């Protein structure tokens, strides 16, 4: 009898073990209940390496330790900003397909924000935005559609257009900080404005706190890395006042704290990841140089921003762990560019010059008039693109291709112009790296007729009549390593040192989640 009981206990134990193993296996193969997409504007791998020993264990170090760490994401385009980069990351394709070449575009003689859409009004803002200029689907869209619209998808970002891009078309809501009043804003394109956001506008509003906020160094000045001796006595202190107080705040390290606070409230109050569907929250941080710094070489401010951002990531990850344990899918990416150019002092004798778009437009128009007769042959210039008068060309029965070629030939001989390509060359004959990048960047409906490249070291004084204020740009063609991370159950931690095309992020995330890739993501995903 005793022997029989022992056998029964053994069988029961074996059955229990098999069930447990089966349950564990099933759990490990289940789709994560919460997806978190994080973009960090201008995040640089060299600063991550520089500050590793200053980071805590639960922010960047956790990503490096537990995730797939891609050291260098490559954005194979001619120009980038946080809006176009976010579109590439979330759609898995380049601007010539997704429609987003940058935050702004040239239209009818003036500069407009790319996502401006008067058909929709703002919520706590006068600005009018929608994602309709984004011509293809995003990861966020595919997550929501895979759940048949049951799952929640939200985005939180300092700026409107980035918030909308990472939210996509199908999201419940996209939210950003209004430049004028500091309130969290949205567009009526999206149907929801949850209490988790409203509380930050009416109970914990930024406007009631901003006068008391100060950004000062976390560390003693001498503890920051790679700082020139003459700057060791450089303790900074920034406050946020004046008419542009909220713009200053949004460029500072403190804006990341505000974004984290809102994101955590959304996770907790909306019970993201704890419902009968897969939810997604997209978060945008900044690691950009502080444009309001008292010194243009703002390496202390930049390092401090990284250290503070590390803390915010740790807070966000802790909130995710509390909500869903380790059953979350987290991907993080830099926006792949670095905007910190300032004038080189003449005493260093670096060859330079100044390119005037206004003068270039005038000279090009005079040249075309000498060939084709009087008329305004050049509509304008924007972002290294010349826009020709195609209506006048049709009236004069001049093929636009001919007008572009004549313009390109003239501009190539202009001082400060290193290269010039017509739209036809970009579209039909991408025979070198420059043309390939331009081909990926130029969206046909908004592209210029002739693209130029300014000689590195030169400055561009954008003095055209549709701009105002200081628009001086100092040309540097520097590349830097832009990291990406993927951290998810059943994804083995590893470090990838070879360059990886940024368009691979969307199909790779989709593959791991076992959902459709965004509809224009043609690239084969990484095997992780």
Supply the DSSP string of 32-46, one letter for each residue: PSEEEEEEEET--HH
Q: What does the chain come to in residues?
A: 528
With pLDDT > 70 as the criterion, what percentage of the chain qualifies?
92
Three-class secondary structure of residue 209 per DSSP: coil
DSSP assigned state of 87: H
Tokens representing residue 481 in the block = 């390593």
Q: Which of 244, 216, 330 is nearest to 282 (CA)?
A: 330
Q: Which of 400, 411, 409 is nearest to 377 (CA)?
A: 400
Q: Boundaries of CATH 3.40.720.10 in the chain?
A: 32-341+478-513
* Helix intervals (H) in 30-81: 45-50, 60-66
Owner of token pair 């470090």: 495
Specify which residues 123 forms β-bridges with. Answer: 186
* Helix intervals (H) in 67-220: 82-91, 95-98, 139-146, 160-167, 195-202
pLDDT at 221: 83
C-beta of residue 329 within 8 angstroms of C-beta of residue 512: yes
CA 90 – CA 465 distance, rounded (Å): 35
Q: Boundaries of CATH 3.30.1360.150 in the chain?
A: 354-474
Q: How far is CA 294 from CA 187, 188, 290, in A?
A: 35, 39, 9
Q: Are strands 494-496 and 68-70 parallel, antiparallel or unpaired?
A: parallel
Q: Which of 518, 513, 512 is nearest to 138 (CA)?
A: 518
Q: How many C-alpha atoms does 118 have within 13 Å on its Cβ side?
A: 1
Q: 32-341+478-513: which CATH architecture?
A: 3-Layer(aba) Sandwich (3.40)
- CB atoms under 10 Å from CB of 321, counted, come to 13
Could you give the strand order of the β-sheet that contains 385-388, starting from the edge strand earlier in sequence?
Answer: 378-382, 385-388, 450-454, 417-422
CA 422 – CA 409 distance, rounded (Å): 9
Three-class secondary structure of residue 104 per DSSP: strand
Q: Are strands 417-422 and 279-286 parallel, antiparallel or unpaired?
A: unpaired
pLDDT at 489: 92
DSSP one-letter string for 319-374: HHHHHHTT-EEEEEEE-S------PPPGGG-----EE-HHHHHHHHHHHHHHHH-S
pLDDT at 16: 38
Tokens representing residue 375 in the block = 């008329």
C-beta of residue 466 within 8 angstroms of C-beta of residue 112: no
Give pairs for 155-158: CB < 8 Å, separation 24+. 155/281, 155/282, 155/283, 155/284, 156/259, 156/262, 156/263, 156/266, 156/281, 156/282, 156/283, 156/284, 157/259, 157/282, 157/283, 157/284, 158/250, 158/255, 158/258, 158/259, 158/284, 158/286
CA 427 – CA 436 distance, rounded (Å): 9
CA 211 – CA 457 distance, rounded (Å): 40
What H or E segment, with its residue span, contains residue 312? helix 299-324
CA 31 – CA 107 distance, rounded (Å): 44
pLDDT one digit per residue (tens) for the chain, 528 residues: 444 454 445 444 443 343 333 333 334 457 899 999 999 999 999 999 999 999 999 999 999 999 999 999 999 999 999 999 999 999 999 999 999 999 999 998 899 999 999 999 999 999 999 999 999 999 999 999 998 999 999 999 999 999 999 999 999 999 999 999 999 999 999 999 999 999 999 998 999 999 999 999 999 888 888 877 666 667 889 999 988 999 999 999 999 999 999 999 999 999 999 988 999 999 999 999 998 988 777 889 999 999 999 999 999 999 999 999 989 999 999 999 988 777 788 899 999 999 999 999 999 999 999 999 999 999 999 999 999 999 999 999 999 999 999 999 999 999 999 999 999 999 987 778 899 999 999 999 999 999 999 999 999 987 665 544 457 888 888 888 999 999 999 899 999 999 999 999 999 999 999 999 999 999 999 988
CA 338 – CA 228 distance, rounded (Å): 21
**Structural fold of domain 354-474:** Gyrase A; domain 2 (3.30.1360)
């Amino acid at each position: 009898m005793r022997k029989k009981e022992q056998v029964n206990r053994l069988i029961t134990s074996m059955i229990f073990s098999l069930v447990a193993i089966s349950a564990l296996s099933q759990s490990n193969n289940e789709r994560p209940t919460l997806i978190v997409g994080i973009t960090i504007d201008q995040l640089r791998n060299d600063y991550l390496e520089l500050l590793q020993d200053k980071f805590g264990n639960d922010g960047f170090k956790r990503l490096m330790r537990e995730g797939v760490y891609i050291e260098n994401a490559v954005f194979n385009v001619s120009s980038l900003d946080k809006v176009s980069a976010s579109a590439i990351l979330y759609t898995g394709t380049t601007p010539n397909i997704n429609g987003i070449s940058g935050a702004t575009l040239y239209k009818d003689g003036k500069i407009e924000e790319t996502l401006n859409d008067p058909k929709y009004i703002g919520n706590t803002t006068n600005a009018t935005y929608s994602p309709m200029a984004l011509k293809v689907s995003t990861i966020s869209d595919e997550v929501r559609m895979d759940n048949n619209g049951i799952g929640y998808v939200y985005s939180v970002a300092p700026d409107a257009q980035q918030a909308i891009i990472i939210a996509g078309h199908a999201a419940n809501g996209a939210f950003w900080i209004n430049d004028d009043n500091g309130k969290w804003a949205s567009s009526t394109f999206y149907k929801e404005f949850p209490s988790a956001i409203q509380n930050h506008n009416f109970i914990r509003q930024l406007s009631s706190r901003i006068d008391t906020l100060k950004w000062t160094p976390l560390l003693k000045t001498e503890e920051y890395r790679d700082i020139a001796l003459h700057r060791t006595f450089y303790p900074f202190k920034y406050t946020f006042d004046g008419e542009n107080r909220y713009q200053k705040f949004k460029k500072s390290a403190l804006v990341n704290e505000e974004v984290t606070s809102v994101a955590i409230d959304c996770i907790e109050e909306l019970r993201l990841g704890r419902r009968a569907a897969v939810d997604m929250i997209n978060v945008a941080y900044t690691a950009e140089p502080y444009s309001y710094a008292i010194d243009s070489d703002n390496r202390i401010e930049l390092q401090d921003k990284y250290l503070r951002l590390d803390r915010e990531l740790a807070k966000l990850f802790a909130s995710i762990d509390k909500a869903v344990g380790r059953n979350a899918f987290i991907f993080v990416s830099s926006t792949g560019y670095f905007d910190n150019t300032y004038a080189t002092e003449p005493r260093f004798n670096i060859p330079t010059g100044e390119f005037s778009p206004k003068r270039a437009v005038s000279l090009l128009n005079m040249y075309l008039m000498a060939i084709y007769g009087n008329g305004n042959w050049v509509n304008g210039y924007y972002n290294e693109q010349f826009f020709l008068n195609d209506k006048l060309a049709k009236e004069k029965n001049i093929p636009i291709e001919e007008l572009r070629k004549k313009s390109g030939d003239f501009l190539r001989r202009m001082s400060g112009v290193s290269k010039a390509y017509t739209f036809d060359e970009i579209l039909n004959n991408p025979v070198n790296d420059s043309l390939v990048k331009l081909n990926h960047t130029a969206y046909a409906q908004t592209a210029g007729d002739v693209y130029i490249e300014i000689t590195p070291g030169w400055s561009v004084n954008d003095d055209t009549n549709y701009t105002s204020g200081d628009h001086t740009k100092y040309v540097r063609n520097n590349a830097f390593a832009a990291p990406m991370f993927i951290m998810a159950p059943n994804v083995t931690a590893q470090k990838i040192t070879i360059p990886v095309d940024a368009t691979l992020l969307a199909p790779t995330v989709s593959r791991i989640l076992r959902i459709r890739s965004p509809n224009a993501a043609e690239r084969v995903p990484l095997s992780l």
